[in-house]
Structures are given as C-alpha cells and as structure tokens.
C-alpha cells in the first residue's frame, strides 16, 4: 500500500517567511504606463501575486512581499521595470523552512 504524504501548499509555505520592508526605498519600481500585455504576464507569473488588478481594472503593484525571485526581471525586463535590485542590507525576505 502506498504511503500518503502531506505537502504544505504554497500559501502555507509563504506564510512562514518573514519580510522586512524598506519603506524608504522601493527595490522595484515600474515604468510609467506599463504595457498591459507585459503587465498581464506578471499577473500570471509573479509567485507572490504582487502584480494585480484593482476593482476598476487598474494595474497595481506593491513591492512589499517580494520573494526576490527575479521572475519579473527575466520575463519583462525594462519593458515594465524602471528599477529592479535586491533590497538593502537586512531588508527583504527572510526564508524560513519550506
């Protein structure tokens, strides 16, 4: 008989991480008026769901909660990002078990 293993889902794993948000210095900034097609790619691809649409369909982004994976940088680069760098010093994500 096969053994049933329990794996934590992504939300459970992410909830273990700790974030120290640098309120004074955004480590990611978007260009003005990003291309909707490029933005849509990141709505789908960002593992932290930081690219999303508001109630009126406006494009929203918040760098707090960033996992520093670089996916948005690789996929869209300068077509949508004005700035992408790692957070300074002790800022940013601190991964816990997961």
For ligand SF4, the binding residues (CB under 6 A) are 28, 46-48, 50, 66-72
Q: Residues 18, 93: contact at Cβ < 8 Å?
A: yes
To ligand SF4, the closest distance from the beta carbon of 66 in angstroms equals 3
To ligand SF4, the closest distance from the beta carbon of 62 in angstroms equals 9
CA-nearest of 29, 44, 40 to 85 is: 29
Q: Which contiguous run of DSSP H or E holds residue 13? A: helix 10-14
Q: Which is nearer to ligand SF4, 36 or 47 (CB)?
A: 47
Q: Which is nearer to ligand SF4, 5 or 61 (CB)?
A: 61
């Amino acid at each position: 008989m096969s053994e049933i293993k329990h794996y934590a889902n992504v939300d459970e794993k992410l909830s273990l991480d700790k974030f120290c948000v640098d309120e004074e210095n955004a480590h990611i900034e978007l260009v003005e008026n990003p291309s909707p097609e490029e933005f849509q790619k990141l709505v789908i691809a960002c593992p932290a769901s930081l690219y999303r649409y508001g109630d009126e369909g406006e494009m929203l982004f918040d760098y707090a909660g960033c996992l520093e994976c670089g996916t948005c940088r690789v996929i869209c680069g300068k077509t949508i990002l004005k700035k992408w760098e790692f957070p300074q010093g002790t800022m940013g994500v601190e991964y816990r078990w997961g």
